[in-house]
Amino acid sequence: MDKRDYYEVLGVDKSASQDEIKRAFRKQAVKLHPDKETGDEAKFKELNEAYEVLSNEQKKQAYDQFGHAAGAEQAGGGQNPYGQGNPFGDGVQFDFSGFGGGGGMGDLFEMFFRGAQNQTRDVEIALTIDFMDAAKGTTKELSLRVADRKSGGRKQEDIKVKIPAGIDDGQSIKLEGKGEVNPQGQRGDLYVHIRVRPHKTLRREGPNIISEITLDMADAALGTEVDIETLDGEVTVKIPAGSGPGKVVKISGEGLPIIGANRKGDHLIVINVEVPKKLNAKQRKALEDYKKATKKHFW
């Protein structure tokens, strides 16, 4: 049977960056790994072969020029690029039992590794946490199995990961000596890559928290008080008179902790003003009277 195009296997375009290729591989590796119910060993091997070629710039260039005539040889004739035996190599075995949701041990995460066969291998985990957990900090417990190539078996560990307050989406936590064990008894490291779920009303920009409110024209002109959701609960904020669209009201020091600094960002409230599309007779007269009262007279 003819080999499928490597780009098709990974589900990426030929113009895909190395980051996009890596993300596509990770996503499919979790789905296709034979330890999962959705796993498919043949497709998993095919995925590994495609990734080994396209993740290497020299091999990728040769493949783009010559197709499988170059790629087959470079990919080791379709051999598992991570070693013999387990199609994902001797590095990591997925353990999906007991993972469902709701935090702690139930957080769904993906695992993969990097490194050569006879070196210490680092284990990488993508862990998704809630917005508030990222803002305030938390501790998560993960269960994983990594290869112990010194003993020839696998090492099952429950690991507590302390997530610092203020961590951002895409940042990583390194746990030294928690990777797999090589034949000499040395261990690689564990990298926990953080993904943060969006909040329904709050968003972050650096260390600052951003929220938006919409006022009617009267409240914007006269000033008002509004209840605002913050990281520490609901607070009442005074909106000054004459607040036009785009005005920002700042609550100092109510943002996110700045890692490595003894201070926090701010909570910024962006004001929108709603202009009514329909007016009743009384509202129209009030606006007309206002318009007349504000006209400048020259005599």
What DSSP string describes 46-105?
HHHHHHHHHTSHHHHHHHHHHTHHHHHHHTTTT--TT-SSSTTTTTEE---TT--SSSGG
- Indicate if 171 and 207 belong to the same structural domain: no
In-domain check, residue 10: yes
pLDDT at 236: 95
121 and 149: one domain?
yes
CB atoms within 10 A of CB 276: 10
Same domain (yes/no): 130, 215: no
DSSP 165: T
Q: Give residue 73's pLDDT.
A: 43
pLDDT at 109: 45
- pLDDT (0 to 100) of residue 296: 57
Tell me how many domains the chain contains.
3
> Does 37 share its domain with 15?
yes
| Separation of alpha carbons 245 and 247, rounded Å | 6
CATH of residue 5: 1.10.287.110
Q: How far apart are the first and last CA of the chain?
A: 94
Say what the pLDDT of residue 98 is.
39
Residue 3 has a pLDDT of 80
Cβ atoms of residues 285 and 299 within 8 Å: no
How high is the pLDDT of residue 292?
85
Residue 92 counted as domain residue: no
10-residue mean pLDDT series, the chain (299 residues): 83 89 86 73 85 85 76 41 36 40 40 53 89 94 88 88 92 91 88 92 94 93 94 94 93 87 91 90 87 65
Question: Residue 286: which CATH number?
Answer: 2.60.260.20
Specify if 90 maps to a domain.
Answer: no
pLDDT (0 to 100) of residue 76: 41
| 111 and 76 housed in the same domain | no
The range of the structural domain enclosing residue 171 comes to: 99-198
- The confidence score (pLDDT) of residue 19 equals 86
78 and 139 part of one domain: no
Is residue 94 in a domain? no
Question: DSSP class of residue 262?
Answer: S
The answer to the question of residue 172 being in a domain is: yes
Which stretches within the chain are classed as H helix?
A: 6-10, 18-32, 41-54, 57-66, 68-74, 131-136, 217-222, 281-294
Q: What is the pLDDT of residue 276?
A: 86
What pLDDT, on the 0 to 100 scale, is given for residue 36?
A: 67
Contacts of 41 (CB under 8 A, 6+ apart): 34, 87
Closest to 81 (Cα-Cα) out of 50, 49, 59: 49
Strand, helix or coil for residue 147? strand
pLDDT at 268: 96
198-229 exposure pattern, b = at least 16 Cβ within 10 A, e = fewer: ebeebebeebbbbbebebeeebbeeebebebe
Q: Which residue has the tokens 């990281």?
A: 231
**Which phi-psi region, left, alpha or beta, contains residue 177 (left: φ > 0; alpha: ψ -120 to 50)?**
left
pLDDT at 252: 93
> How many Å apart are CA 86 and CA 131, to the nearest integer?
37
